[in-house]
Amino acid sequence: MVLTAEIKTVGIVGGGQMGSGIAQLALVSGMDVWLFDLDSNALTKATNSINSSIQRFIDKGQLSQEIGSGAVRRLSCTSRLEDLQSVDVIIEAIVESEDAKKKLFSDLDRIVKGSAILASNTSSISITRLASVTGRPNQVIGMHFMNPPPIMKLVEIVRCADTSEETFMTVKTLAERFGKKVICSQDYPGFIVNRILMPMINEAFFTLYTGVATKEDIDSGMKLGTNHPMGPLELADFIGLDVCLSIMKVLHAGLGDNKYWPCPLLVQYVDAGRLGRKRGIGVYTYEKVVEPKLS
């Protein structure tokens, strides 16, 4: 199995808001990156957002010109999964769907070299079930970054039933090379952060749905009343309402309590395509589609 010191090439699967940010972290840490997405527009957007974010870090004096230029040159984009065959570690950040992730893990298991680790950035889905479709469950692990990955200091590492100690130590050291603080969770729905955060966001939707207060007052209440930097509805728009709903469904199915029932208003917004900032409309309306700032 590959060890952290041997990690030279990272494969990132899914070039959306999370995948592009994780790719940036690997690039500025000196690694070569293959970024895979089925959608070529997503790859173009990801490349532009990585390049402009790295430039902002350089402009602010937080990154040297030399490291920044090297990072940009080491990025390769592809829509052919076979191009990932020589990577040392995969970090998967595709849509939050168990079926889609299982299909991908099964394909990757056939394609990538036997020593490669398969990590998932899933917010809530069972790592054990993803591992079960591969022939290397001891090399499968959860590596859950926070949004936006270049800024947020935390990585939540999730061991599945079979994750080996070597895999855990390699991924922990990798996260530390990215400059992150690591916390560890057992493999239960939502892990630590989303087990606590998502019911709060869902409750904010119920508060709005039942007419208790306006969206502005709900967000102000939590910002000024509990010192959160963003209100829960504003945060939901930032995360993506589709991602929030998928996580609530996983919590509801996996923990079986009515308190995890997704709010009908959240469901309705997602049905209407109101997915948050990435679509220009969610709980709030944005003048233009707001690309997440990675720096």
Binding residues for CoA: 53, 60, 123
Q: Which is nearer to ligand NAI, 58 or 278 (CB)?
A: 278
Cβ(218)–Cβ(208) below 8 Å: yes
Q: Which residues pair with 78 in a beta bridge?
A: 36
Which of 92, 124, 126, 156 is catalytic? The answer is 156
Q: Which is nearer to ligand NAI, 58 or 127 (CB)?
A: 127
Q: Which residues bind ligand NAI (CB under 6 A)?
A: 13-19, 37-39, 42, 93-96, 100, 104, 121-123, 144-145, 147, 239-240, 243
Q: Which is nearer to ligand NAI, 32 or 96 (CB)?
A: 96
Query: Binding site for NAD(+): what residues are annotated?
Result: 14-19, 37, 96, 101, 123, 147, 278
The DSSP symbol for 1 reads -
Q: Is 48 a catalytic residue?
A: no
Q: Show the tokens assigned to 20.
A: 């592009």
Of all residues in this chain, which one has the CB nearest to ligand NAI in the complex?
16
Q: Which residues contact 6 (CB under 8 A, 6 or more apart)?
A: 88
Q: Is 144 a catalytic residue?
A: yes
For residue 122, CA distances in Å to 54, 68, 119, 162, 233 come to 25, 28, 9, 17, 21
Q: Which residues pair with 144 in a beta bridge?
A: 156
Which of 194, 202, 246, 295 is catalytic? The answer is 194
Q: Show the tokens assigned to 153.
A: 């200091």
Minimum distance from residue 146 beta carbon to ligand NAI (Å)? 6
Which residues belong to the active site? 123, 144, 156, 194
